[in-house]
């Protein structure tokens, strides 16, 4: 629901003078002090005050100062009734000053109340208050009606201009605060995303390697307990050592990737298939550097897919195709299936789940399932 402009207060940022340049603030305070000094000098030198009258005038000045400060605070807190009462007190003091012959003080109070009401109160209260103050000023002004009309119109316009200036400054302060908050949120989001990326790298690199080592070492322990032959135990230990070396190499690659020191993707895939006798890689499309996240996703999916082939279809032929499209990059890994008589197992599928989650985090997709001959893994990542 749209807020009623007549009932809307100027914002607290506007009323508090926050964000004013130091020079402008110093100039404003200097102008006020000079005006106050001149006003007090004129009041107490050009008037016929004597004795107790001077004391009453001084007390009135103190009360006026307290009233102005109170009006400032209550308008800053958006409290309409106390603000209206304090403004009425100041207008009454101006009437008393006029009755006591302190015309300069009365005129300054009336004009100041008119401008301040227009600047700091909702319009529904500011217009009546400004009208009363300027009407009182016009009633005692000794100039002709054109001069009075021009002066009152100028004072009302000055108050409204100050109101617009304060609201513009308040809006700028709010936008600046929102921008700072957005930057902080963006930095926190980037930090969380980076932590998540590091966590995924650690999981992808170490989880498979350590779990495989644990399997081999546990098998070696069972073989020792059963009194198996030396060669069987040694095979398990050698396999665990090989997994440890692979895990260390992959950890170094992951650290290099996190530092942005990755080798070209095509070179990485060529090195990956060089470790297998029955694998080949084909690259199509216009080659170009990929974002770090997309490049790392392709690398991890290729590694996981080849690992699955070695586990579930040892000896099968593997064809890897990397296609650079206009808006996405596609990795297709196909195997020919396990040779006849080879033992295969399905596994728990956690590797495929991790690959799929990695692809979805990048806005891509991963499809994995049986193909015409063996198993097919297809990764699509937008770039």
Whether 299 shows a pLDDT value over 80: the answer reads yes
Mean pLDDT, residues 345-356 taken together: 58
- Which residue did the predictor score with more confidence, 197 or 244? 244
Mean pLDDT, residues 341-369 taken together: 68
pLDDT at 347: 41
Q: Tokens in use for 236? A: 């398990």
- Give residue-wise pLDDT tens across range 14-29: 777 666 666 666 666 6
Q: Tokens in use for 315? A: 């000896």
Residue 142 gets which letter from DSSP?
A: -
- Give residue-wise pLDDT tens across range 171-199: 888 888 888 888 888 888 877 776 776 67
* Long-range contacts at 66-73 (CB < 8 A, ≥ 24 apart): 67/93, 68/112, 71/116, 71/120, 72/120
Average model confidence (pLDDT) for the chain? 79
pLDDT at 340: 53
Mean pLDDT, residues 130-149 taken together: 82
pLDDT at 350: 47
Mean pLDDT, residues 242-267 taken together: 71
Between the alpha carbon of residue 343 and those of residues 258, 306, 310, 346, the distances in Å are 38, 17, 11, 11
All domains in the chain, ordered by first residue = 12-142 (no CATH), 263-383 (3.30.565.10)
pLDDT grade, residue 322 (50/70/90)? very high
pLDDT grade, residue 378 (50/70/90)? very high
Q: What is the 3-state secondary structure (H, E, C) of 36-71?
A: HHHHHHHHHHCCCCCCHHHHHHHHHHHHHHHHHHHH
Between the alpha carbon of residue 272 and those of residues 39, 96, 253, 266, 324, the distances in Å are 89, 96, 12, 10, 19
pLDDT grade, residue 274 (50/70/90)? confident
Mean pLDDT, residues 291-302 taken together: 83
């Amino acid at each position: 629901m749209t807020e009623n402009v007549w009932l809307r207060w100027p914002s607290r940022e506007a009323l508090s003078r926050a964000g004013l340049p130091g020079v402008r603030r110093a100039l404003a305070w200097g102008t006020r002090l000079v005006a106050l000094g001149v006003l007090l000098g004129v009041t107490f030198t050009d008037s016929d005050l004597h004795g107790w009258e001077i004391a009453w005038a001084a007390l009135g000045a103190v009360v006026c100062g307290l009233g102005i400060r109170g009006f400032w605070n209550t308008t800053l807190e958006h409290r309409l009734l106390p603000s209206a009462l304090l403004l009425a007190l100041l207008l009454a003091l101006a009437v008393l000053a006029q009755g006591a012959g302190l015309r300069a003080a009365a005129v300054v109070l009336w004009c100041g109340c008119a401008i301040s009401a227009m600047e700091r109160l909702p319009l529904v209260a500011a217009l009546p208050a400004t009208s009363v103050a300027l009407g009182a000023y016009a009633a005692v002004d000794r100039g002709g009606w054109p001069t009075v009309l021009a002066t009152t119109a100028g004072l009302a316009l000055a108050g409204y201009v100050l109101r617009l200036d304060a609201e513009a400054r308040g809006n700028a302060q709010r936008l600046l605060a929102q921008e700072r908050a957005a930057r902080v949120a963006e930095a926190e989001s980037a930090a969380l995303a980076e932590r998540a990326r590091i966590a995924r790298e650690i999981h992808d690199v170490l989880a498979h390697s350590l779990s495989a080592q644990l399997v081999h070492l546990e098998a070696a322990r069972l073989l020792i307990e059963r009194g198996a032959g030396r060669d069987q135990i040694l095979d398990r230990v050698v396999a665990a050592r090989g997994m440890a070396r692979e895990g260390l190499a992959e950890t170094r690659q992951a650290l290099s990737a996190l530092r942005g020191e990755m080798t070209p993707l095509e070179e990485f895939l060529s090195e990956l298939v060089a470790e297998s006798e029955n694998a080949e890689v084909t690259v199509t499309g216009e080659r170009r550097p990929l974002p770090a996240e997309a490049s790392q996703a392709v690398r991890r999916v290729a590694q996981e897919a080849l690992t699955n082939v070695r586990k579930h279809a040892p000896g099968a032929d593997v064809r890897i195709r990397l296609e650079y499209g206009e808006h996405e990059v596609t990795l297709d890994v196909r195997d020919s299936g396990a040779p006849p008589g080879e033992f295969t197992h399905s596994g728990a599928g956690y590797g495929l789940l991790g690959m799929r989650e990695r692809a979805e985090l990048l806005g891509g997709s991963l499809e994995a399932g049986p193909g015409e001959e063996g198993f097919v893994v297809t990764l699509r990542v937008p770039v």
